[in-house]
Amino acid sequence: MTHLVELQHPLAKHHLSILRDATTPPWLFRQQVHRLATLLAFAATEDLPVRRKLVTTPLTTTDGYELSSRIALVPILRAGLGLVDPLQSLLPDAEVWHLGMYRDEVTSRPVEYYCKLPAEDPCDVGFVLDPMLATGGSLLSAIEALIRWGCPDIRVMSVIASQPGVDRLKREYPQVRLFVCSVDAELNDRNFIVPGLGDAGDRIFNTR
């Protein structure tokens, strides 16, 4: 099982370049996030289990397939909301559970202020959604929440990640798979990804 999948598709490279551009307006930034999330979803779902079913076409019957797992989408508020719609369009029966976290600007540690995961009856596959994996603090907290819930298959989708964040995730949760469009080399002294794309939440919601 590959811990890290970094998209090498030409479309991912093209749309990510537009996303990074400081002159990209919020409406276009949101569109690019949607497009990149769709490409990530293709990679992150390619091994989901299916079961056979009989399908009646206008001419005859034939073998068909349907997803056999109960799937949960878990966006980390607020930036993770930008990844929900493209995933729901492909997985319309998926549950959506929200986790609210923000990064303390002094300590750079995650602060949880909202958790809507139920106490029991876990999903089969959980997708943690956050456009950026910087230090990894928020994502690790989200993963811990899904583990407490009992989710056996946890996957992370981020548009970009820092190499330190990737290393930390692999070290602490080697069973969790990470799907990204790019791994950037470093974090600056404020723990922002470099070259990065700025603050994804601010750019998605036009609150800069």
User: Which domains can be identified in the chain, with CATH numbers?
Assistant: 4-205 (3.40.50.2020)
Q: Which residues are catalytic?
A: 103, 107, 199, 202
How far is it, in rounded angstroms, from Cα 10 to Cα 27? 22
Residue-level pLDDT at 180: 97
End-to-end CA distance of the chain: 39
How far is it, in rounded angstroms, from Cα 64 to Cα 81? 32
Residue-level pLDDT at 190: 85
Residue-level pLDDT at 1: 52
Give this prediction's pTM.
0.91
Residue-level pLDDT at 142: 93
Going residue by residue through the chain, which has 208 residues, state the pLDDT in tens, using 9 for 90 and above: 569 999 999 999 999 999 999 999 999 999 999 999 999 999 999 999 999 999 999 999 999 999 999 999 999 988 999 999 999 999 999 999 998 877 666 766 777 778 878 888 999 999 999 999 998 888 999 999 999 999 999 999 999 999 999 999 999 999 999 999 999 999 998 888 999 998 898 899 989 7
| C-alpha count within 13 angstroms, C-beta hemisphere, residue 3 | 10
